[in-house]
Amino acid sequence: MLQPNVDNQKISAIKDTVKEWRRYLHRHPELSFHEEKTSQFVYDQLVSFGGLKVTRPTKTSVVATLIGSQPGKILGFRADMDALPIHEENQAEYVSENPGVMHACGHDGHTAMLLGAAKILAEMKDEIRGEIRFIFQHAEELPPGGAQELVDAGVVDDVDYMIGIHLMSLLPTGKVGIVYGPVTANSDMFDLKIVGKGGHSSQPENSIDPVLMAAQFITNIQQIVSRNLNPKEQLVISTTTLQAGGAKNVIPESVQIGGSVRSFSPEVREQAVSFIERIAKGVTEAHGGTYEFHYQYGYSTVFNDKDLTKIVEECVTEALGENFVEYGEGAMGGEDFSAYLQKAPGCFIPVGAGNAEKGIVYPHHHPRFDIDEDALEHGVRIFVQAAKKILG
Amino acid sequence: MIETITIDKLIDSVKDTVVEWRRYLHQNPERSFQEEKTSQFVYEKLESFGNLELSRPTKTSVVGRLVGNRPGRVLALRADMDALPIQEENDFEFVSQNPGIMHACGHDGHTAMLLGAAKVLSQLKDQLCGEVRFLFQHAEEVPPGGAMEMVKAGVLDGVDQVIGLHLASPIPTGRIGVGYGPVSANCDVFTLSINGKGGHSSQPDTAIDPIVISAQVVSNLQSIISRNIATNEKAVVSVTQIHGGSAQNIIPQSVQLNGTVRSFNPKVREEIPKLMERIVKGITEAHGATYDIHYEFGYSSVVNEEILTRQMEELIGEVLGKEFILPLEQGTMMGSEDFSAFSDVVPGCFLMVAAGNEEKGIIYPHHHPKFSVDEASLEHGVKLLVHAPFKLNNKE
């Protein structure tokens, strides 16, 4: 039987190492699907811990398996490792050494925390009933994403529970978000080509004006959210790119429209697709044009399992204290942690890492984004406590 | 050849009578298709002139034929006789005695002028070539209009040319507006129902909102003129009525949109309803709604035939003076007129007789409760009508 409380000595001993790892990773960010040095670093560390079976299911991902002393459930922990194509504007001594590439979403911290947890848990093998799978995932930032590749490689086929942590700069350090139900959104994109008939701007009657049709399309799709959607549901449709024309006196042949569609429920997601296309069809037919519609399903909603989230909530209180839990609602961001949830129930945990006093106030994906390193310990403690509670 | 002096003496003698007739008609206006007393008055006057062969092609229209003693062409002269459902707000002594009905478009004057011309010409039978046919038409103001009924009754049989006059209050007395080609618009009307699915305003997801779809339809219809019709064509699409809903918290089942479409070119006229329906179909389908559209072709554009119009322009110069000629650009008058029912069959010319007078306070537009005509203009019309057959009917 495991002790209910985390071993403070073990955590304290590794705290500074986790921070160092995070700083190393922050200095050496790599873009999605190109996490070669990062994954090698992770691989080397995991091997050095001993007691773990370390594999590379894809070129830049690493999975470490910890087999407990007795049989039991299989618990998957996930950290993502990729950075973003952003040029860092921070002044910290650990600033990115790769121009134009930056850890601006906290994945450096995610990786460091999970390494820390792996090191501690590797030493507690005898107390584990079952198995822990430490999943160091590549390419979270770039659809179709690394998670699906790892799922396809069978990494979570037999996993019973999945847990992932995301550091949040807009949540203060000392708070951990507990969300029941949807945490992130279905995050899809569409491309629509509206095809008219080009011509001279002085003779609109000989043309079919695709710019006008595009304007009507954009106006008309506003009705999907305002009129077609059940008010209690959430859906965001944004037309984010619009390109047409090469000369001011030429009616172009076609207009290219791009947009993003965010939703939580699978039903709303499907409704949005069919409503968008129905409007594209109707508006273009109304003016004698045609269209080509391409819908890309992106990351699905991360949906937190109720029972597992209840356990995680208890872990947070046990490992960190009474005042850490901050109940939250889903936000419209996208996360490929959802790919694992096709195989097992999961819980995705936002961990507060913002600190106004330290100037850590910038949002994710900002060139001055940073995390409060004091939050790293919280993440490590949650992983360790979850392992003890679920596999103890 | 008859002397102009003789004609002018006859016109002079009828001048005051024409004003009296106009005032009588103004006092006793009757609505379209109900011109019973008016047509009886006209019939009796014509009968009193002698030499005229009278008929009533429809219940409230009158035709008088004056066959000259010399061979020649047949010229039809047309006046409309109906009034409008307007409560008159003038305060002169011959104000309408029929509440809610008013001669607010000058038809009283048209009828009086043509009666005056008939009286003069009936005394000139010996000098007249061919035939003059006086068409006193009912129901110009209400489509499908009286002109079409008269044409169907055969009033144009044997007619070579047709002339019509319209008094115009916006132009000061002393001018005659002459336009070549189209002078009034094709005027068509539509009624459109956007059928959604009613429901509670708190649950738009269970309804199909016809109000929002109607708004999109109205916006989309604007591109017909701006994008689909050639810039050198003149056309107007107006949505003039929107009716939908009965309570603040109910999404209605349907919305009614009505409007008019004006055009000159017959091809444009044919094209617009097709474009309209394409838009309505596309937009309603875009939002899962349906529609019913009813499109009614109204009066056609009055097209002034070139040779006849040139002769009439010359006549204005000869009879009234060159300073009277007021060239009208195409599209000056986007209104509509069922004179086209006649001029579509035989070459026609429709002229605007200026009848405005600021000093007399005659400044209100047609169909206004204070509309009136400057009676001095009536003589100008009578002169043109009387002289026209002498210029046009002689085949040599």
Q: What is the pLDDT of residues B139-162, one digit of tens each?
A: 999 989 999 999 999 999 999 999
- The answer on pLDDT for A165 being more than 90 is yes
pLDDT, residue B334, reads 62
B140, B141, B313, B375: the catalytic one is: B375
What's the mean pLDDT in A209-237? 95
Number of separate helices (H) and strands (E) present in chain A: 8, 16
Q: Distance (Å, rounded) from C-alpha B323 to C-alpha A13?
A: 110
**Residue A119 host element (H or E):** helix A107-122
Q: Distance (Å, rounded) from C-alpha A361 to C-alpha A383?
A: 26
- The answer on pLDDT for A241 being more than 50 is yes
What's the mean pLDDT in A186-199? 95
Of B204, B226, B286, the CB nearest to A278: B286
User: Are the beta carbons of A283 and B203 separated by less than 8 Å?
Assistant: no
Give chain B's mean pLDDT: 95
For chain B, the residue count is: 396
3-state secondary structure of B283: helix
Burial of B333 (0-12, 13-18, 19+ CB in 10 A): buried
Burial of B258 (0-12, 13-18, 19+ CB in 10 A): middle
What letter would DSSP give residue B312? Answer: H
User: Are the beta carbons of A203 and B286 separated by less than 8 Å?
Assistant: no
Digit-coded pLDDT (tens) for A100-119: 999 999 999 999 999 999 99
pLDDT band at residue A346 under the 50/70/90 scheme = very high
Beta bridge partners, B76, equal B133, B162
**Residue A186 host element (H or E):** strand A186-195
All residues at 6 or more sequence positions from B296 whose CB lies less than 8 Å from its CB, including other chains: B143, B188, B189, B190
What letter would DSSP give residue A363? Answer: P
If contacts are CB pairs under 8 Å, which of residues 194-233 in chain B contact chain A? 202-205, 207, 209, 212, 216, 219-220, 223, 226-231
Cis bond upstream, residue B210 (ω within 30): no
pLDDT, residue B335, reads 76
pLDDT, residue A1, reads 35
Contact call for residues A381 and A118 (beta carbons, < 8 A): no
Query: Which residue in chain B has the smallest CA separation from A277?
Result: B286
Residues of chain A with Cβ-Cβ distance to B280 below 8 Å are: 286
Digit-coded pLDDT (tens) for B4-42: 778 999 999 999 999 999 999 999 999 999 999 999 999
Taking each helix axis as running N to C, give the angle between helix B266-286 and helix B210-223, from 0 to 180 degrees, rounded to the nearest 10.
150
Q: Distance (Å, rounded) from C-alpha A381 to C-alpha A6?
A: 7
Q: Distance (Å, rounded) from C-alpha B9 to C-alpha B21?
A: 19
CA distance B2 to chain A (A): 55
Sort strands A70-80 and A161-172 into parallel, antiparallel or unpaired: parallel
- The answer on pLDDT for B172 being more than 90 is yes
What letter would DSSP give residue A225? Answer: I
Sort strands A129-137 and A254-263 into parallel, antiparallel or unpaired: unpaired
Cα separation of the two ends of chain B: 12
Q: Is B375 designated active site? A: yes
User: Are the beta carbons of B223 and A212 separated by less than 8 Å?
Assistant: yes
Digit-coded pLDDT (tens) for B234-279: 899 999 899 999 888 999 999 999 999 999 899 999 999 999 999 9
Q: Distance (Å, rounded) from C-alpha B22 to C-alpha A113?
A: 101
C-alpha A114, offset from chain centre = 16
Mutate to test the interface with B, among A192, A213, A275, A283 (most CBs of B within 10 A): A283
What's the mean pLDDT in A111-135? 97
User: Are the beta carbons of A205 and B227 separated by less than 8 Å?
Assistant: yes
pTM of the model: 0.78
Is any Cβ of chain A less than 8 angstroms from the Cβ of B287?
Answer: yes
Token output for B390: 């002498």
What letter would DSSP give residue B362? Answer: B
- The answer on pLDDT for B395 being more than 90 is no
Q: Which residue has the tokens 């132009």?
A: B171
pLDDT band at residue A4 under the 50/70/90 scheme = very low
For chain A, the residue count is: 392
Is any Cβ of chain B less than 8 angstroms from the Cβ of A234?
Answer: no
Number of other CB atoms surrounding residue A149 within 10 Å: 21
3-state secondary structure of B291: strand
3-state secondary structure of A333: coil
